[in-house]
Amino acid sequence: MISKKFTPSYNLGSLLPFTIMDRYLTSELIAPFFFGVGAFSSLGVTIDAVFDLVRKIVESGLPIDIAIQVFLLKFPNFIVLAFPMSTLLATLMTYSRLSSESELIALRGCGVSVYRIVLTAVMLSLVVTGMTFVFNEQIAPAANYQAGVTLDKALKSDKPAFKQQNIFYPEYQDVIQPDGSKNRILTRLFYADQFDGKRMTGLTIIDRSTKNLNQIVVSESAQWNPSQNIWDFYNGTIYFVAADRSYRNIVRFEHQQLQLPRTPLSLAEKSRDYGEMNISEALDQLQVEYLGGDRQKIRKLEVRIQQKISLPFVCVVFGLVGAAMGSIPQRTGRGTSFGISVVVIFSYYLIFFISGAIAQAGALSPFMGAWLPNFLFLGIGLFLLIRVAKR
């Protein structure tokens, strides 16, 4: 029997942008989708954040209001992860119910193909893909970073909020050659072993910005002087080298002020974890890692950037897989659909992490390491859809 909610009144096989069938399927998909978003994101943030925050409240004296603030800031990250899961759950539950109640059979009897029926789920999945991309780019990274800073400040109020290592900053300049061509040369190289939030230590600066004079500064520590917009260096030596690379002079100092750009400090202050950067910030960081030459960091960041791009599109893949699996003639309840969703989600993310790890090891390209799970499950979804359409 066809549900009373839906009665076909014209050719539902039409390729009109939004038919009565589309409105009906959309209304059926929305409720389980939002249920999934709430359930999966709440479960994720509880497992990842709540237990840890409760422990910090008891053991470290974390104020409850700060714990609530950190908890809310961590939510967007899990909403991003919940969007694809909820898409799979919604499509699988909805199409399974339509199949078990013979509504799909009735639609096909009206001349609607399986491909057209599933198209509605795929189009809605594209909308969710856009939502996932916005959350993953504009909201989740900033919220993750703010959560970390807030937690660090609350637990280490008398200590710096972060500590960075191997601060590396090069400056280049385009020099016009006698033949009119441009040659990009290194004019200054700034390196520091560590930065504790206040002071840098173990500094080496190669300065070639002054014509016919190069200088190398080696210093025990340095910090930015905001009142004078200058660097204060402590316990170091300056080596002056002439243009012909001959020795010029050596100056030892206990305190020396040098007019250098603040950029290395800004770079260290803005350094974030992979989960705290959007794609643009990650690409900027990748350029810095290229200059540093750490192949392991470069490879890891390349994979993470590809994963940030591929993650939103898993919504379309899950929408197709869920709709195709649900369209198979069967008699399943919501509990069974939920269980199947969990198995599919677990399988996907297991392959996602394994392929990512293989790509970081260099056995796969960063692109394939990030997109392989999507391609694999897209193939599964298309295979299931073709099988259903042939029945």
Tell me if 56 sits within 8 A of 67, measured CB to CB.
yes
Query: pLDDT tens, 28-79?
Result: 899 999 998 988 888 888 887 888 888 888 877 788 888 888 888 888 888 9
One domain, residues 214 and 147: no
One domain, residues 141 and 27: yes
Summary mean pLDDT of the chain: 83
pLDDT at 220 over 90: yes
Kindly state whether residue 288 falls inside one of the protein's structural domains: no
One domain, residues 211 and 147: no
One domain, residues 187 and 69: no
Query: pLDDT tens, 83-102?
Result: 999 999 999 888 888 888 88
Kindly state whether residue 285 falls inside one of the protein's structural domains: no
pLDDT score at 13? 42
**Domain limits for position 247:** 165-263
Q: How far is CA 172 from CA 128, 182, 185, 189, 321, in A?
A: 42, 12, 6, 9, 50
Q: Which residue has the tokens 């030459």?
A: 293
Higher pLDDT, 309 or 260: 309
pLDDT score at 284? 77
Q: What is the mean pLDDT of residues 285-292?
A: 72
Kindly state whether residue 228 falls inside one of the protein's structural domains: yes
One domain, residues 132 and 97: yes
User: pLDDT band at residue 271, thresholds of 50, 70 and 90?
Assistant: low
Kindly state whether residue 5 falls inside one of the protein's structural domains: no
Burial 15-49 (b: 16+ CB within 10 A, else e): eeeebebbebbbebbeebbebbbebbbeebbeeeb
Which of 205, 238, 263 is at the close of a domain?
Answer: 263
Q: What is the mean pLDDT of residues 14-38?
A: 81
* Tokens matching residue 318: 């899950």
pLDDT score at 173? 77
Q: How far apart are CA 198 and CA 144, in angstroms?
A: 23
Kindly state whether residue 6 falls inside one of the protein's structural domains: no
Query: pLDDT tens, 309-328?
Result: 999 999 999 999 999 888 88
Kindly state whether residue 1 falls inside one of the protein's structural domains: no
pLDDT score at 163? 57
Q: What is the pTM of this model?
A: 0.71
Q: How far apart are CA 200 and CA 217, in angstroms?
A: 14
Higher pLDDT, 300 or 172: 300
Q: Are strands 230-242 and 164-176 parallel, antiparallel or unpaired?
A: unpaired
pLDDT score at 3? 45
Q: What is the mean pLDDT of residues 154-173?
A: 67
Burial class (CB in 10 A: 0-12, 13-18, 19+), 223: middle
Which of 240, 263, 286 is at the close of a domain?
Answer: 263
One domain, residues 73 and 171: no
Tell me if 173 sits within 8 A of 187, measured CB to CB.
yes
Q: How far is CA 387 from CA 237, 277, 345, in A?
A: 75, 42, 22
One domain, residues 117 and 145: yes
**CA proximity to 113, closest of 1, 3, 21, 18:** 21
One domain, residues 137 and 257: no
One domain, residues 150 and 24: yes
Q: Element (H or E) spanning 96, and its range?
A: helix 64-100
In angstroms, the first-to-last Cα distance of the chain is: 20
Which of 237, 263, 289 is at the close of a domain?
Answer: 263
Kindly state whether residue 109 falls inside one of the protein's structural domains: yes
Q: Element (H or E) spanning 19, and its range?
A: none
pLDDT at 380 over 50: yes
One domain, residues 38 and 116: yes
Q: How far apart are CA 365 and CA 373, in angstroms?
A: 14
Q: How far apart are CA 207 and CA 218, in angstroms?
A: 11
Kindly state whether residue 181 falls inside one of the protein's structural domains: yes
pLDDT score at 227? 87
User: pLDDT band at residue 17, thresholds of 50, 70 and 90?
Assistant: low
One domain, residues 174 and 128: no
> How many domains does the structure of the chain reveal?
2
One domain, residues 78 and 198: no
